Amino acid sequence: MRIISQNLMDFPYEQIVVAVDDNRVICWPVSNMGGRYYLLGKYNVCDRAREVFNSIFDYYKGTPQMEDGETLYLNNTFVMPEE
């Protein structure tokens, strides 16, 4: 699955860690957890950021999987809502 940030950066969900930081949804590459983070989306209130964070997981969880655990549809994309 891919995530498209509000500023139109494309991130592979399986290669990042997504987190909520106050009113922002951010991510780090799994390969560099101590490095720079990237902004996926910024919202007016913390609750909205948490809601979007949960929506990302729910969207990923709903992606059909094959029996061996491999993703069946690799072209699914979650686009970060503006608000």
Given a cut of 80, whether residue 76 has pLDDT beyond it is: no
**Separation in Å, CA 10 to CA 35, 47, 52, 74:** 18, 24, 17, 14
User: Rounded to whole angstroms, how far apart are CA atoms 4 and 38?
Assistant: 12
pLDDT at position 60: 82
Residues 6+ apart with CB under 8 A from 69: none
For 15-69, what is each residue's pLDDT tens digit?
A: 999 999 999 999 999 998 888 999 999 999 999 999 999 999 888 877 666 666 6
Cβ atoms < 10 Å from Cβ of 26: 20
pLDDT at position 66: 64
User: Rounded to whole angstroms, how far apart are CA atoms 62 and 47?
Assistant: 22
pLDDT at position 59: 85
pLDDT at position 81: 82
